[in-house]
Structure 1
Amino acid sequence: MQPTSWPSNEGRDVGFERTSLCKACTGKGVKSRRKMSKHREIEVLALMRTSSANAMQGFTLVELLVTLTIAAILLSLAVPSLASFVQSARLRGSSNELASALMFARSEAIKRGHAVTVCKSENPNALDPSCGTSATWQQGWLVFVDHDRDGVVDGSATPSDLVLRVGAADIPGLTVSVASNFRNYIQYTSNGVSVGSDKLADGNLSMCLNNKSQVLTIGTTGRLSISSGAC
């Protein structure tokens, strides 16, 4: 008889050792990952604290003073330019308004076949406005159908004179210089030709504000042109 052979324990021992090693490795890996995660959390928290500290820090007094100084310098440079722009816009607006009144008077004279006059007035917004030789052009003006061609609004004409439009350029500091021919009124005949107080056809009105001027020139045919310049 042959002796009975028993299975060897070598294979079992090897498997057990491998299993033990794997478990040991796994445990170390888990611990390592846990340590890394905690380290990252600490870094993130540190960054968040640093950002919060920087955000709460704000401006220093020196930085604030420098910023205010620069803002004041820029503002001091911008304000005069803005004021000059506003003054120029007002001057152009006033000259355009008077020019519009003159062109309207000329077109109405041609359309109606009657003389239409633009006179200066000190009460253009009154219920019963009137022309006035003592008034100034910047105080205001009237555009009216001048049936008797005397250069003033009155009820003596037949039919009575009819006021068509009123206007004013009463801006503080604005002055209007006119040729002697147009010192009181500008009248347009039915063919569009202009006539002034001296019975001449041409002349100009110069509007001045803040050393800048707008000159309205009326030619011999009654046509109007505008030019800019210095006072």
Structure 2
Amino acid sequence: MLKNKHFYIPQSGFTLIELMLVIVIVGVLASIGIPSYRTFISTGKITTATSSLHGALLLARTEAIKRGKNVTICRSETANAAVPSCSTTDSTPGTNSGWADGWIIFTDDNNNGTYQPGNNPPEILIFAQGSQAKDLTDISIMPSVPQKFLTFNSTGQVFGASIQMLVNKPTWDSDTSHNRYICIASGGRARVSTSTC
């Protein structure tokens, strides 16, 4: 005759103490990781914007020398449009993102700082860069003086005095050491600096 056998089935799961311990560990890791991640995002945006504008300035200068004519880089809020145009407003903190709104590079035969593809001969669009900033709390690029455009002549010089462009950190980043400066000499050379020009 068979006897009833009782089988022991082990139970598994978390105790409340184990669950609380995991939550505390996740909280500590998040408090360490999230600020580092935000810093990484901020410095990445600043580095990208600085490199993009610095490279564009070098391109404009090189094209002016190569073509033997004036080449202009201008701030543009419509750089991604089929026919982009130069901005008519100044770079103003809190109102726009300055040069972080975008820019275009073009041959400027009549030296008026305005892209005019319908001219005879037509001005040629060399390069267009869309916005680097998603909104007003993101990065901004502000010139030291109101500057909507820069024109390089056939020898690569800039018309006017030297200019400083501040690549400003996002508003949520409190570390001002993340800011970068692009220094443009009257001779046309541009360089990047961690301090004012």
Could you state the TM-score of these two structures normalised by the residue count of structure 1? 0.68
1:219 is matched with which residue: 185, 189, 195? Answer: 185
Q: CA deviation at 1:153?
A: 0.8
Structure with bigger RCO (C-alpha 8 Å, 6+ apart):
2
Task: Work out the percentage of aligned pairs sharing the same amino acid.
Answer: 27
Amino acid at match of 1:138: A
- Determine which structure has the larger helix proportion and give its number: 1
CA contact (8 A) 1:148 1:157 kept: no
Could you state the TM-score of these two structures normalised by the residue count of structure 2? 0.79
CA contact (8 A) 1:147 1:158 kept: no
Partner of 2:164: 204
Q: CA deviation at 1:164?
A: 0.8
CA contact (8 A) 1:119 1:185 kept: yes
Report the structure number with the largest CA radius of gyration: 1
2:37 counterpart of 1:90: no
1:169 is matched with which residue: 120, 126, 132? Answer: 132
CA contact (8 A) 1:151 1:187 kept: yes
CA distance in 2: counterparts of 1:154 and 1:190, whole angstroms: 19
The unaligned stretches of length 5 or more in structure 1 are 1-48
CA distance in 2: counterparts of 1:121 and 1:64, whole angstroms: 54
Partner of 1:122: 77
Q: Kindly tell me: are residues 112 and 224 of structure 1, through their superposed partners in 2, closer, same or farther at Cα, counting changes over 3 Å?
A: same
Report how many aligned residue pairs link the two structures.
173
Q: CA deviation at 1:80?
A: 1.2
User: Equivalences for 1:57-136 in 2 at 5 Å?
Assistant: 57=12, 59-134=14-89, 136=98
RMSD across aligned C-alpha pairs, in angstroms? Answer: 2.2
Moved more, 220-229 or 110-119: 220-229
Which consecutive segments of 4 or more residues in structure 1 shift more than 6 A?
none
CA distance in 1: counterparts of 2:118 and 2:13, whole angstroms: 80
The unaligned stretches of length 5 or more in structure 2 are 1-7, 91-97
Deviations 1:109-147 (A, max 9, x none): 111101110011121111111112216312111100111
Q: CA deviation at 1:171?
A: 3.2
